[in-house]
């Protein structure tokens, strides 16, 4: 499980366009694509150029930006979709087709044999037209598909010797980490090609499932900034980064521009006209705030006591909150030192109790605390 081998396929400009608040203009897409490239994602996935005339034009413009990231598009396993995608000059084409019984019955109405035939035709056509195009073949709704059907499809396509990687999609967010691990391991035992994982967050398991897929042998993980996407969205980029950071922060720092992550999330939040959730991993307002006295005492001694992630790696700051009834004498003393005050232990204890008593009855601000500390110095 080497972080250096992992590739992020960011789908903010494809899956993210399906978010109910999204309505990206061409200029928005260009700005977001440049931001994703600055952060360092390996792939930027964009909406199918067949979706609309503007989608086609936007796809072409994004390809022409001369980004370090590969620009790939996500299309149905249709010959016409493939022809239009090839016309845009994208670096790669991500094909998908439903394999679950429910989506085959109420969606495309194809049998497993027909799925294999269609996929074979489209994949062969793309390769004939552009042998350099990177190809991913993905089954939609993988976790409501039978394992035998999935492996039958994957192995048939693998025999073509054309596809660069195979995709697994938890399309309705139904999978558990255990199920993800089992499926990815089964696939890894059947072929050596790369495996991409796409996790929806309907049951809150997207980050856990994506990390588990990586543990089991997946090489590519799909994300969006802020986790935006269809319904509750997919694995948030910051969430995946947070989970991976605890494994090997140095490799992650070398691989991605971590200090740009907050700005990237702010950019997308601005485009969809929503605030970053307070509890969002790393970039949320609450991420590095410490309040309880026991916590703040330990934090002042060693920040690793209550932080698994170092905010300075992301160009962020931690806050030691003292304007509340849970405050402790150590954090009050720390603030006194910051203000250049020289108060003894008895004074600090008395001031701490004063702040607690006041905070029980009213809302306190840092300015209120500072006034109490400064007035204590004057009364010495």
Q: Which long-range contacts (CB under 8 A, 24 or more apart) does 189-192 make?
A: 190/151, 190/154, 190/155, 190/158, 191/154, 191/155, 191/158, 191/166
Contact 149, 177 (CB under 8 A): no
Quick check: 168 and 191 in contact, CB under 8 A? no
Are the CB atoms for 137 and 75 separated by under 8 Å?
A: no
Neighbours of 77 (CB within 10 A): 22
Whether 270 and 280 have beta carbons less than 8 Å apart is answered as no
CB 104 within 8 A of CB 98: yes
Distance between CA atoms of residues 343 and 380, nearest Å: 9
| 8-state DSSP, 46 | E
- Separation of alpha carbons 134 and 94, rounded Å: 8
3-state secondary structure 128-197: HHCCCCEEEEEEECHHHCCHHHHHHHHHHHHCCCCCCEEEEEECCCCCCHHHHHHHHHHHHHHCCCEEEE
Residues classed as catalytic: 295
Task: State the Cα–Cα distance between residues 156 and 120, nearest whole angstrom.
Answer: 8
Distance CA 209, CA 227 (A): 14
Quickly list DSSP for 311-353: GGGGT---EE--SSTT--HHHHHHHHHHTT----HHHHHHHHH
Nearest to 297 by CA among 324, 349, 325, 334: 334
């Amino acid at each position: 499980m080497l972080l250096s081998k992992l590739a992020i396929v960011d789908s903010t400009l494809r899956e993210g366009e399906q978010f109910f608040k999204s309505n990206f203009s061409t200029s928005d897409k260009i700005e977001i694509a440049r931001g994703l490239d600055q952060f360092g994602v390996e792939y930027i996935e964009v909406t199918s150029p067949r979706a609309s005339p503007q989608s086609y034009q936007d796809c072409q413009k994004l390809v022409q930006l001369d980004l370090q990231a590969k620009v790939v598009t996500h299309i149905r396993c249709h010959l016409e979709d493939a022809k239009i995608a090839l016309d845009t000059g994208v670096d790669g084409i991500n094909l998908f087709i439903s394999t679950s019984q429910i989506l085959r019955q109420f969606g495309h109405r194809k049998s497993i044999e027909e799925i294999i035939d269609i996929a074979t035709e489209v994949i062969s056509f793309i390769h004939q037209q552009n042998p350099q195009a990177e190809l991913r073949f993905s089954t939609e709704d993988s976790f409501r598909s039978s394992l035998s059907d999935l492996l039958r499809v994957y192995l048939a396509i693998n025999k073509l010797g054309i596809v660069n990687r195979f995709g697994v999609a938890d399309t309705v967010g139904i999978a558990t980490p255990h199920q993800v691990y089992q499926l990815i391991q089964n696939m890894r035992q059947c072929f050596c090609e790369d495996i991409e994982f796409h996790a929806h967050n309907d049951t809150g398991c997207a980050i856990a499932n994506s990390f588990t897929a990586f543990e089991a042998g997946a090489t590519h993980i799909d994300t969006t900034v802020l986790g935006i996407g269809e319904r509750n969205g997919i694995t948030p980029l910051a969430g995946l980064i947070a989970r991976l950071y605890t494994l090997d922060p140095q490799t992650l720092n070398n691989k991605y521009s971590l200090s740009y992550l907050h700005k990237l999330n702010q950019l997308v939040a601005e485009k969809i006209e929503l605030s970053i959730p307070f509890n969002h991993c790393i970039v949320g307002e609450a991420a590095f705030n410490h309040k309880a006295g026991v916590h703040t005492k330990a934090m002042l001694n060693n920040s690793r006591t209550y932080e698994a992630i170092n905010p300075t790696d992301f160009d962020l700051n931690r806050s030691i909150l003292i304007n509340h009834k849970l405050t402790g004498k150590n954090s009050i003393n720390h603030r006194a030192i910051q203000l250049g005050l020289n108060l003894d232990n008895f004074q600090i204890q008395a001031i701490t109790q004063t702040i607690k008593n006041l905070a029980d009855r009213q809302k306190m601000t840092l300015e209120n605390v500072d006034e109490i500390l400064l007035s204590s110095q004057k009364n010495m």
